[in-house]
Amino acid sequence: MKEQTTQAKGAGFIRRFPRRKLTTVVGVLSRGKYNIVPCLEIGEGGLQFQASEKHLKGGLVVANLFLPKAHFLAVTAEIIYAVQTDSSGRSCYGVRFKNLSFESKRHIRDYIAEKSAAEA
């Protein structure tokens, strides 16, 4: 399977996998604190979430979430970027998965492939 390469606007990195919006919450364990935050997007290589807590670029987190159709995912991820999104101090964080199992990759790939016509 050929990887998709996309240049993100102004972020300075290349996205290798397609993503899909995911409106759910993700549990993020970082530096001994666990927070439940909104998940914005997910792809085979990582995900994006929004949080008011500050996370350091290059830092490791443990992310826990349920994909639609009840697949639980727990994975270690590295913070790749942070973008402040509003005046309240919330930021969007992009993470790259570090130890994603083959089964979890397959579930994410299936979820992305199920895009509805409204999302396309």
- What pLDDT, in 10s, does the model give residues 70-97? 789 999 999 999 998 777 878 999 999 9
For the domain spanning 6-113, the CATH number is: 2.40.10.220
Q: What gap in Å lies between CA 42 and CA 28, rounded to an integer?
A: 14
* Average pLDDT value for the chain: 83
Give CB contacts under 8 A, 24+ apart, made by 112-117. 112/18, 112/19, 112/20, 112/42, 112/43, 112/44, 115/20
Place of tokens 């990759």: 105
pLDDT of residue 14: 61
Phi-psi bin for 100: left (phi > 0), alpha (psi -120 to 50), beta?
beta
Extents of the domains making up the chain: 6-113
pLDDT of residue 68: 84
- What pLDDT, in 10s, does the model give residues 28-40? 999 999 999 999 9
